[in-house]
Amino acid sequence: MFTPTPRQNDILALARLNGRVNVDELAAKFDVTPQTIRKDLNDLCGQRLLTRTHGGAILASGVENVAYEARRHLADLEKRRIGEHAASLISNGSSLFINIGTTTEEVARALSNHEGLLVITNNIHVASILLPSPRIDVIVAGGMLRRSDGGIVGEQAVDFMSQFKVDHAVIGVSAIDEDGALLDFDYREVRVAQAIIKNARNVILVADSMKFTRSAPVRIGHLSEISVFVTDQPPPENIAEICRHSGTQVAIAPGADQAEESEHS
């Protein structure tokens, strides 16, 4: 039976707090070599407690999502690039849904200077972001407020979203399975996301490349239901093939080269 060492337990605690850990930072914190930390991470990943990433690891997903504050800092630069590119696809005078998620919140920030938008959302953070924008009208769904992340979920929210037919839906997901399934953690949130997809003429999925390495238990839908998939890196070939076969456009947010250079500088 696997029993984590005290240092490994500390590493897990840091991952739960921040969503991710970095090899060099851990080596400095615990005054050990990077090789020692890599062995710790390999042990924890072998038990599916963490998932390896370039230069470190993230908290493994399964049946419970990473805490909201930690998710906000995961791939934050990538999410900003994705948000800016997705916003550029939405013209002034459009109506749109924006659902729950830290990436969709970046889309809202990038939309704040648009004009004549009608935004319907079940995300109170999106509503707060757009509140100062005088030329954007915001409608907030009714329903149960999820304190953990400011999402509004439940049957009331589903019924509310079903009243509309909008130009665009901007949706985020917790994971993308290798078969193209779009996944999340809360079945109540999924029901709202499904209503959003159903009642939009154009569906924009915003998800960073980390979503290809994660898993979640509840199925929202499939990549074939998406009009445009905005991400930060070219997707794995099997995902790219699903998109080609389905007619789903893949849009890589500009700036990947600059981000990579900055990471290695």
CA atoms in the 13 A half-sphere facing the CB of 62: 7
Count of beta carbons in the 10 Å neighbourhood of residue 233? 15
Contact predicate 142/160, CB 8 Å = yes
Selected from 1.10.10.10, 1.10.260.40, 3.40.50.300, 3.10.530.10, the CATH number assigned to the domain covering 6-60 reads: 1.10.10.10
| 162, 199 Cβ separation under 8 angstroms | yes
Pairwise CA distance, residues 159 & 155, whole Å: 6
The reported pLDDT for the residue numbered 227 is: 98
Boundaries of every domain in the chain? 6-60, 70-261
Measure CA 225 to chain center: 17
pLDDT recorded at residue 148: 81
Q: How do residues 110-168 score in pLDDT, each as one tens digit?
A: 999 999 999 999 999 999 999 999 999 999 999 989 888 899 999 999 999 999 999 99
Q: What is the mean pLDDT of residues 221-230?
A: 97
Question: Buried (b) or exposed (e) across 139-178, using 16+ Cβ within 10 A?
Answer: ebbebeebeebbbbbbeebbebbeebebbbbbbbbbbbbe
Q: Per residue in 45-104, pLDDT tens?
A: 888 788 888 889 887 655 445 565 666 656 788 999 999 999 999 999 999 999 999 999
E strands along the chain, which residues?
20-22, 50-53, 56-59, 95-98, 117-121, 136-140, 144-146, 151-153, 166-171, 175-176, 181-184, 200-206, 218-222, 228-231, 249-252
Please state whether beta strands 95-98 and 117-121 pair in parallel, antiparallel, or not at all (unpaired). Answer: parallel
DSSP type of residue 179: T
Predicted TM-score (pTM) of this structure: 0.77
Tens-place pLDDT, residues 228-256: 999 999 999 999 999 999 999 999 999 85
Helix (H, G, I), strand (E, B) or coil at 232: coil
Percent of all residues in the chain with a pLDDT value above 70, rounded to a whole number: 90
Arithmetic mean of pLDDT, 182-205: 95
What whole-number distance in Å separates Cα of residue 129 and Cα of residue 135?
13
Question: Cβ distance 169 to 97 under 8 Å?
Answer: yes
Alpha-carbon gap, residue 218 to 170, rounded angstroms: 19
**Per-residue confidence (pLDDT) for residue 177, from 0 to 100:** 94
Residue 188 contacts residue 218 (beta carbons within 8 Å): no
Selected from 1.10.940.10, 3.40.50.1360, 1.10.645.10, 3.30.450.370, the CATH number assigned to the domain covering 70-261 reads: 3.40.50.1360
Share of the chain above pLDDT 90, in %: 69
Integer distance in angstroms from the first to the last C-alpha of the chain?
41
- Alpha helices (H) in 162-201, listed in sequence order: 187-198
Sheet with 228-231: list strands edge to edge.
Answer: 136-140, 117-121, 95-98, 166-171, 200-206, 228-231, 249-252
